[in-house]
Every structure is written in structure tokens, then in C-alpha cells.
Amino acid sequence: MLIFTLRRLNLFFFTMLLLTLLSFSLSFLFPGNALLNVSGQINASPEQILLLSESYKTESSIFAQYISYLKHILSGDLGISMSSQTPISVEIADLLPATIELSMVALLLAMAIGIPLGFIAAIKHNKPADNIILSIAMIGYSIPVFWLGLLAILIFSITLPWLPSAGQISLLFEIKHVTGIQLIDILLSDNAYKWQAFQNASAHIILPACVIAVAPGTIFIRLARSSMLEVLETSYIRAASAKGLTFNQIIFHHAIRNSLVKIIRHVGLQFANLITLAMITEVIFSWPGIGRWLIDSIYQRDYTAIQSGLLVLSCFIFIIHILTDFVYAALNPMARDNKHA
Amino acid sequence: MMTLLRRIMVTCLFLGGAACNQDDTLTLSSKSIVYCAEGSPESFNPQIITSGTTVDATSNHLYNRLITFDSKDNSISPSIAKSWHETRDGKMITFYLRKNIAFHTTQYFTPTRTLTADDVLFSFNRILDKNHEFHGVSGGNYPFFESVQLGSLIKEIEKINEYTVRFKLYRQDSSFLANLATDFAVILSEEYGQQLAKNNTHQQIDISPIGTGPFKLKEYRVGSFIRYYRHDDYWQGKVALEQLVFDITPSNTGRLTKLLTNECDVSAYPIAHKKIMEHPNLTLEAVTSFNVAYLGFNTQKAPFDNKIVRQAVSYAINKKSIVDTIYSGRAEVAKSLLQKGSWAYDDSVIDQVYSVDKAKELLKLSGLENGFEMDIWAMNIQRAYNPNALTMAKLIQADLKEIGIKVNIISYEWATFLQRIKQGEHQSVLLGWTADHPDPDNFFTSLLSCSSVNSGSNSTLWCNKAFDNLLLKSLETTNIKLRKEYYSQALAIIAQEIPLLPLAHSKRYQARANNVKGDIMSSFGGINFLTVYKSEVGKE
């Protein structure tokens, strides 16, 4: 396990190095002055510019510049946003939790619906139920998310006025920002309308979370199906059935647990996909998350925000990836001995 | 596994029921309004900006002015000043202030005294006195006041006693009172200014505002929302609403959706008018606001530094079809800067005619008969005077293609857009102006005078001495007939020089849920939620 951990940390280190190199070079590739792009100080006075160029070492070699850029990032200084002139770290700390909340709920939804359906399909292999589930999965996977989002608003918000169409919560509720994860913040707050706020926030998250969950959900269906089929073919299952265990016992005690381990491995991979979908969905549902902010930054040509936002987001996805790897390794001893990371 | 499934089912039931149980939210929402606004304010102090979005969000809610416009007949009526007196030569105006006007008490400031003459002096000296501690804060630009040249008009502001202030002027100015009644001439708290100066956080005065208005700021998230709470000690009596939230929704369809799903009570600049009118719970309102949409040429940049090129382009644009397409008949073609309702409107001004031949002829005369490439800047948000500038730019693009001009359309996010135009980066721009007060001077001085070139509200960077003289002469007299004569001449100069091409005068629209009562819009300036309340659901 130690070697496994070291290997992952090693991978993390080099990937981060590459990512920072990429984001560092972006400030030169974007139009305009590299120093202003990296710091976002578009309204700085000449004296301030001088100080800035000293702290970013623009007069020295590229390597020294890169090192000072790393120093800034490690000390939490991601520059300030060109459009709002607030520190990007503050904006990200404000917005990232909302995205995490939305994607976590979506991920849970996708797993809670996708995995059981996949198992059913595998158990009913080559029967009508299998075919139906697979067709649904195919359709779900092919629907573009922005179209699905608009359709969901049209049906469930406008035609049937069941669910709200935009935002995280009705703006009338004033919830103090503690963790940034709205549902937790509501429970922590001492608002007189706490439970109404909680219900309201829950109603707000349903539509966007469902829309995001569709594509990963269908992938989970197929993953669960193939992994279950694989497990059902193994000799220990055959041995169990030869020993006279009932079908239910085999499925619930042996097959599900063993096939779940294989699926967990893919959760990390799916997460990157999920975040991409969440970014688009955030725009459609005006969800105050990092995806919408990043897309707005592109519109506003806010290079500092684009650069730092990408870095933070990719870093975040990578950490999740590694975490799921650890969970997988903890559950599956075989993976720990795997020599290639 | 079964327990897990059961748990999921229970959760789903709970969440599903969430939308139904709304008894308590009703009490909260019946005392609050959510207003879907079209953009974020640039600042919380209308002294330092001219954008309508900021005025809508701040002026009437956070602040009061010395005097204001009566919503019925647009005459000047008392506000903080309960009365005023003007000497016969018009050079000395004395304001008598109301007593017991309370400032906001917020998390960041607790006032110890009510409004006095010191606050009035502080507010105006910040604008006028270049050595004032707060003058340079937030950039030191006061575009509205610079464009009406308040600095060269006011000689001195004198405090007579705690509740009396005297303005001494260099010359008579017939639009002076109207300028003081606009949304920009708000009164700030001198005590708050002192507190900020002590902590050396001067810039907070425009970010965390303190005023005397009916609402006070609770929270603002850029691009997301503004939360106002009621100012309980408001001098005109508490307002009916406890909470006023500006939900910032730049997308037109987003605002429409929120309106239809009841997430907003009132929406700015709605689209799909027919759909709203057909909806049983929604009302569409319009006011004739004094505004103009125009195509402004940057007269400092080639080729539009040449009058003939400007004329050629203006002949090639089919205003009628633009107005029909963009405004769907809810606007009239602009003949000049002024609308028919204005007392200075002059029907005899030569109108631009749509003539491709004439345009080609003029292009030939200017030596550009082979055409050229130009940029049109168009904003991507909806304004009262222009519901869709990007489409308008595309129509102009098609029109100008006829005479061999290739048009590139350029757009930025609103705040950046204004910023860059101020710096003169554009070649031509689709902009507009909504009048701040009924005096016609507001259109001329703010849009085309030499002083407004420096203050940034003149996007054409056009400065014509003869034109400026006419404006000045008109302000020096109160004789309406004489003033009208001067403005006619000014309009004639514009028609000849074409620093900008007026396109349309439109109405300002707003949609609201039927249970929202009270007047929100007026012909001039920003929106106002002072008298707004919600009627009980069920009593409809």
C-alpha cells in the first residue's frame, strides 16, 4: 500500500507540474501583456506594475519566472479577476462548493439509478428487459445535455409548474455562507424559515442534478452490466450455485459486492465527464458554480480567471481521481500490487 | 441493499413533497419582491456612473435627492429639501431641509445623527471640489455632472445653518434645478465618510452604500443578486416591502422563464410580449420614456473623421426596416435626438432619407468608392432604447454591404463594453440615451457637447464649438421660445454633421405578476419600488 501511495503521489506531482506549466504558458499565449494576464491587475498604476513585475520576476529568465509563478500559486495567490477585480481564490472558494454539491448529488443519482439497472440487465441477460435497458442507456447517452436541460425546464418548470428553473435557492431566503454547500449551510443556519429553505433548495437541485446524471447514469448501466456478467461467469459463482445457494443469495451476497468493486474504479474517470456536463448545465440552470463562472470569464476575455480557473478545476478533478483510486485499492487488494500506475 | 433502496425512496418522497408545502414561504414572499434585473450595477453610488442599470438598482432605493420629479406631471417637487427659494437673477438658490431624516443603520455603519446641511455639502463637494478627500475615490469621474458642467456653474455652496443650504451660481442656468432632481444628485452621509476616512477605507463609500432611501443594502454578489432590506426609519414612513431582491439575469430568455415560473415578481425588459399578455397571471406595462437609440461614429478615427463618409453611411441605412424588425412596431423612427413629446421638438429638421444612390455618390466624393471595412460595436444586453443591438448591427451590416462597406460586429460584456468605448477604442457604436430629466438639454449636453467628450458620455468624441455655444446660450435664458430656437439650430447642425445617426425612440417595457401593485416605472430615470406592495393571494 505504501508503494501504491508513493506512486500515486508521484503521478500527482508530475501531473501538477505539467498543468502549472500549461497554465503558466497560457499567460504568454493569450493576447496582451503576460504580466497583466497572470496577475489581472489591469488598473494598476505604473508603480504597482513595477512591484508586480518584481514579484513575478519578469526581467529574469523564463525558468525564474515559472518558479515565481509557482510560488504565487502555492501561497494561494491566483491573481485577481480582470472583470471584477476581486481575488480569484476568493471567487473560486465561493463558487467551487456549489459545483461540488451539484455534481455529488448528480453522481449519487447516476449511481443509485444506473448501477441497479445495469445489474438487472445482466441478470436478465439477452432477455427483453436487458434489451430495453440497453436501448434506454443508448438513448440517454446520445442526448446532448444542453438540449435535455432546456427540455427539462420547458416541461417541468414552465408547462408543469413543479420545479424551479434557475438558481440554487429562492433568493428570498438569506443563507449564511459557511461551507458553501447550500444544503449543509441551511441546516447550520438559524434562519426562521430553515425547513422551507431546505425544501426550496432541494427542489432547486432536482432538475439540474437529473440532467447531469443522465449521461454518467447510462455509462454506469453499461459498466454495471458488463462487470456483473463477468462476475457471473467466474468459477466461484459457479461453485456457489453448485453448492446449492439460491439465486438471490448468490446475487446479493457474492455477485453484487464483487462487481461493485470494479465499478468504483470508473467513478473517478466519470467524474471528469460529470464536471464537463455540470459546467454546461450550470449555465442553463443559472447555477452559481464554477462552470458558469468560467464560461462567463471566457465571454469577458478575463484571461486571469480562465487560466487560474482551469488550473483549479483540473487539479480538483485529478484529486478526486486519485481518491477513488485509493478507495478502489482499499477495497481490492489485487490493485495494490499492480505495478503500473 | 433493500434498506438502501428504501432509504432512496423515502428521500425521493421527501424531496418530491418539497414543492408542495409552501404555507410559510408565502408569508415570506408576500412581503418581498424579486426583481429580475438585466445586469449588474457598476457601483452603488449613482454620482459616479450614468448607466441605466446602476441607476435602476440604486438611486431611488438607497438614496434621496434634495428635490425630485413629481411622477404625475414631471414638475419639480420637494424631497429632502422641503422648500427652496430662487433669487430673481437665478444666481442664488436656497434649500430648506427637512428635519429628522435618518440614515441607514447597517452592519458596517451606525449613524449617530440625522441628515443636516453638512451631508448636502459633503455630497456636492465630493463632486465639485478637486481637493476634497473623496473626490478621487473610485476614479474621480462624475460623468453626469461633468457633462452638465456643474463645476463651472456652481461658485459656492454655503451652509447657512444646520438645515439651510445656499447654492451660488456664476450664471443663470435654466436646467439647474432639473439637474439636481435627477437620479445622480443623491445625498450621502458625511458621518459615514468621516468613519471611512478614519479607517482609510475611502472606496467603501461607493461599494457599501449608506443613504436615506427606503431600502438598505444587505448583500451583493456580483453577477448574481442584490439583497435590500427595508429601512425602518425611512422619513416618508416604512415601505410595505420587507425585502427587495434584484435577481441579476442578463439572458432575455432566462428572465422570461423566471417570470413564467414565478421565480421573479417583476422582470425588466421582457421579451415575448404576446405570450406575457396572454398569460392569466402576468401583466405587461409600458411607459413612454424619453430615449433615443443611435449609431454613433467615432469622429476621431478614420474614416469617420470625414463628414462625407458619415453622411454616406447614414444614407445607406434603412431606419424604417430596422425599427420594424427590432422593435416590432413598439417604437417610432427617430427623426432627431428629440422625441415628439419634448417641447423643443422641431418638425422642420431635415430628416435623413434612405437612398443607396446618394450614399454611393457621397462615397465616391470622399474617395472611398471601392468601399472599406468598419467595426460596429453592439452591446449584448437589452436596453430600454434598444432591445437587441446585435440584430440591429446585423441589419446595418446588410444595408452597408449594398454600398460596398464590410461591417464587423464587436461585442463585449456590458461593463467592459462601456469602459472600452470610453477609451475611444471603437469605430462606430450602437448606443442610446434615456433622459434623466424632462429638459431637452439633457440629450444635447450629455451626448454631444465638448465637455462630455472628456467625461466619457460622448461616444462620438465630436466637439463642435458652434454647437456648444448654442447649448450654452439656451441654458442662460428661461425664455422657452428663445431656447427652442437655439435647440432647432443645434438639431440642424447635427443633421448636417452627423456625429451620430438617431435611429429610434422606444417605449420601456416591464412585466409583472398580477399580485404586485403600485407604480414602478416612470418616464424619467430609474425604477422605484417605494409604493409597491403585494396583494394577498386569493383576494385577487
Comparing CB atoms, the residue among B18, B22, B254 nearest residue A202 is B18
- Matching residue, cell 414612513: B237
**CB–CB contact A166 B15 (8 Å):** no
Read off the pLDDT of residues A229-243 as tens digits, 9 standing for 90 and up.
988 888 888 888 888
| Residue B461, Ramachandran bin (φ over 0: left; ψ between -120 and 50: alpha; else beta) | left
pLDDT confidence of B537, banded at 50, 70, 90? low
A256 to chain B: which residues are within 8 Å by CB? Answer: 1
Let me know: does B361 contact B404? Beta carbons within 8 Å: no
Question: ipTM exceeding 0.95?
Answer: no
**CB–CB contact A200 B34 (8 Å):** no
Give the angle subtended at the CA of B218 by the CAs of B214 and B224, to the nearest 5°.
Answer: 110
DSSP-derived 3-state class of residue B175: coil
B224 to chain A: which residues are within 8 Å by CB? Answer: 288
**CB–CB contact B34 A172 (8 Å):** yes
Contact with chain A for residue B138, Cβ under 8 A: no
Cα separation, B78 vs A112, in Å, equals 65
Let me know: does A75 contact A63? Beta carbons within 8 Å: no
Q: Tell me the CA distances in angstroms from A339 to A262, A268, A293, A336, one per residue in order.
A: 18, 20, 40, 8
pLDDT for A162: 87
A286 to chain B: which residues are within 8 Å by CB? Answer: 249, 254
pLDDT (mean) for B267-280 = 87
Instruction: Assess if CATH 3.90.930.12 describes domain B291-507.
Output: no
Instruction: Assess if CATH 1.10.3720.10 describes domain A92-336.
Output: yes
Comparing CB atoms, the residue among A153, A163, A300 nearest residue B413 is A300
Half-sphere exposure of B29 (CA within 13 A, CB side): 22
Contact with chain A for residue B415, Cβ under 8 A: yes
Half-sphere exposure of B201 (CA within 13 A, CB side): 12
Contact with chain A for residue B3, Cβ under 8 A: no
A170 to chain B: which residues are within 8 Å by CB? Answer: 25, 29, 34, 263
**CB–CB contact B247 A170 (8 Å):** no
C-alpha grid cell for residue B400? 452597408
pLDDT for B116: 92
Q: Which CATH number fits domain B4-250: 2.30.30.760, 3.90.76.10, 2.60.120.10, 3.60.15.10?
A: 3.90.76.10
Residue boundaries of the structural domains of chain B: 4-250, 291-507
Read off the pLDDT of residues A59-94 as tens digits, 9 standing for 90 and up.
888 888 888 888 888 888 888 888 777 888 888 888
**Long-range CB contact pairs, B94-97, < 8 A, 24+:** B94/B160, B94/B164, B94/B165, B94/B166, B94/B167, B95/B66, B95/B67, B95/B120, B95/B164, B95/B165, B95/B166, B95/B167, B96/B163, B96/B164, B97/B66, B97/B163, B97/B164, B97/B165
**CB–CB contact A83 B415 (8 Å):** yes
Nearest-CA distance A1 → chain B (Å): 30
Cα separation, A17 vs A73, in Å, equals 12
Contact with chain A for residue B261, Cβ under 8 A: yes
A167 to chain B: which residues are within 8 Å by CB? Answer: 247, 263
In chain B, the residue whose alpha carbon lies closest to the alpha carbon of A163 is B19
A81 to chain B: which residues are within 8 Å by CB? Answer: none
Length of chain A: 341
pLDDT for A113: 92
Let me know: does A283 contact A291? Beta carbons within 8 Å: yes
Comparing CB atoms, the residue among B25, B225, B415 nearest residue A200 is B25
pLDDT confidence of B289, banded at 50, 70, 90? confident
- Inter-chain contacts counted by CB atoms under 8 A, chains A and B: 88
Is omega for the bond preceding B502 within 30 degrees of 0, making it cis? no
In chain B, the residue whose alpha carbon lies closest to the alpha carbon of A252 is B1
Distance of CA B401 to the CA centre of its chain: 33
Contacts of residue B262, defined as CB under 8 A and 6 or more positions apart, other chains included, come to A161, B281, B513
The strand order across the sheet containing B32-37 reads B215-221, B225-230, B243-248, B32-37, B266-268, B508-513, B282-287
Give the pairing of strands B331-333 and B500-506: antiparallel
**CB–CB contact A165 B29 (8 Å):** no
C-alpha grid cell for residue B493? 447642425
pLDDT confidence of B342, banded at 50, 70, 90? confident
Nearest-CA distance A203 → chain B (Å): 6
Cα separation, A142 vs A136, in Å, equals 10
Comparing CB atoms, the residue among A112, A167, A172 nearest residue B8 is A112
Best probe of the A interface among B257, B260, B266, B380, by most A CBs < 10 A, is B257
Nearest-CA distance A338 → chain B (Å): 31
Read off the pLDDT of residues B113-134 as tens digits, 9 standing for 90 and up.
999 999 999 999 999 988 998 9
Contact with chain B for residue A160, Cβ under 8 A: no
C-alpha grid cell for residue B519? 407604480
Distance of CA B514 to the CA centre of its chain: 26
pLDDT confidence of B536, banded at 50, 70, 90? low
Comparing CB atoms, the residue among A112, A203, A256 nearest residue B18 is A203
Cα separation, A203 vs A183, in Å, equals 11
pLDDT for A102: 92
Give B68 or A175, the one with higher predicted confidence: B68
Residue boundaries of the structural domains of chain A: 2-74, 92-336
In Å, the largest CA–CA distance within chain A is 84
Nearest-CA distance A47 → chain B (Å): 17
A248 to chain B: which residues are within 8 Å by CB? Answer: none
Let me know: does B247 contact B478? Beta carbons within 8 Å: no
Comparing CB atoms, the residue among B34, B245, B263 nearest residue A165 is B263
Is there a shared CATH topology between the B4-250 domain and the B291-507 domain?
no
Contact with chain A for residue B247, Cβ under 8 A: yes
Cα separation, B36 vs B270, in Å, equals 10
Read off the pLDDT of residues A187-205 as tens digits, 9 standing for 90 and up.
888 777 788 888 888 889 9
The strand order across the sheet containing B164-169 reads B81-86, B92-97, B164-169, B154-161
Read off the pLDDT of residues B501-522 as tens digits, 9 standing for 90 and up.
999 988 888 899 988 888 888 8
Read off the pLDDT of residues A17-67 as tens digits, 9 standing for 90 and up.
898 888 888 888 888 788 888 887 777 778 888 888 888 887 888 888 888
Contact with chain A for residue B263, Cβ under 8 A: yes
In three-state form (DSSP H/G/I as H, E/B as E, the rest C), the secondary structure along chain A is CHHHHHHHHHHHHHHHHHHHHHHHHHHHHCCCCHHHHHHCCCCCCHHHHHHHHHHCCCCCCHHHHHHHHHHHHHCCCCCECCCCCCEHHHHHHHHHHHHHHHHHHHHHHHHHHHHHHHHHHHHCCCCHHHHHHHHHHHHHHHCCHHHHHHHHHHHHHHHCCCCCCCCCCCCCCCCCCCCCCHHHHHHHCCCCCHHHHHHHHHHHHHHHHHHHHHHHHHHHHHHHHHHHHHHHHCHHHHHHHHCCCCHHHHHHHHHHHHHHHHHHHHHHHHHHHHHHHHHHHHHHCCCCCHHHHHHHHHHCCCHHHHHHHHHHHHHHHHHHHHHHHHHHHHHCHHHHCCCCC
pLDDT confidence of B25, banded at 50, 70, 90? low
